[in-house]
Amino acid sequence: MRIVYFYIAIIFISFSYYGCSQDMNNQKKLTTEEERVIVHKGTEPPFTGKYYNFQGKGTYICKRCSTALYSSSDKFDSECGWPSFDDEIPGAVKRLTDADGRRTEILCTHCDAHLGHVFEGERLTDKNVRHCVNSISLEFVPADTTKTEKAIFAGGCFWGVEYYFKNEPGVKSLAVGYTGGTKENPTYKEVCTGRTGHAEAIEIEFDPAKTNYETLAKLFLEIHDPTQLDRQGPDMGNQYRSTVFYTSDEQKKIAAKLISILKDMGYKVVTELLPAKTFWRAEEYHQDYYTKTGGAPYCHTRVKRF
């Protein structure tokens, strides 16, 4: 069936023209005052924090694990005495009922560092939310030093995987291609034989100030069936296998955690975790395929799993 789609694509083209929990040992050593707030859930005195009246452009990251938490574009002056944000980077901040039973505590999703509290209904901004954060729980990374990161996923036909990541917030660029095998500069025809060892994959460049790897990995595990071995829907062969090609130990840990969650839920996940290898960009007619053809994925559907 995939070959049929391939030849349809050729005919059409001829007529027309893109942080999770770190190890405790990797977390930064805290000062006594930082530990009082971040570990023991204390609060710094109001109007004293270094970021209260700070107006720099960039990203606020977790003091303990360096995960991106807030963008400066979401910071506002609430006159409350602490830095205030009306939004967080998706997936970076979690909420728990405070020990007092009334307020809602906010913590770094990845290392559980105490950040402060979140309040709603104050009508201070259009989003009607205020993250009241201790400066001491944060570090600031100026916009001109913020770097992009890469993520590589393989989950069946790369047309479908690209389709779902194309408009994902924080994704700056993406390309479909081949990776994981031994053949240099492989062609689509060669990869289709299943003898190159390559998988159809997508390479994503993302802005860690606007999203994070865990959010992208969750999306990946929801837009294809991670329980199918060497296939995805009607597409069969090892080039359609489910694989996370991690570019760092942190990415490996995040992906392993998510896979473990799915297994605990009863999913028989077969997704591999492999270190990233050379990514070979696919032929141009494969890039942005569904935009060019006006089609939609035939073997990828998003299923909410997290």
pLDDT digits (tens, 9 = 90+) for 231-261: 999 999 999 999 999 999 999 999 999 999 9
- Which among 20, 108, 157, 299 is annotated as catalytic? 157
- The predicted pLDDT at position 27 comes to 73
Give CA–CA dist 51/133, Å, rounded: 10
Q: What is the mean pLDDT of residues 14-31?
A: 51
Q: Which CATH architecture has domain 2-18+148-293?
A: 2-Layer Sandwich (3.30)
In the annotation, is 108 catalytic? no
- The predicted pLDDT at position 210 comes to 86
Query: Does position 133 have pLDDT exceeding 50, yes or no?
Result: yes
Average pLDDT over the chain, rounded to an integer = 90
As given in the structure block, the two tokens for residue 203 are 């390479």
Total-model pTM: 0.61
In the annotation, is 132 catalytic? yes
Query: Does position 132 have pLDDT exceeding 70, yes or no?
Result: yes
Q: What is the mean pLDDT of residues 133-145?
A: 90
CATH number 3.40.50.720 given to 28-143? no
- pLDDT digit string, tens, across residues 42-93: 999 999 999 999 999 999 999 999 899 999 999 999 999 999 999 999 889 9
- Which among 20, 62, 111, 132 is annotated as catalytic? 132
Query: Does position 154 have pLDDT exceeding 60, yes or no?
Result: yes
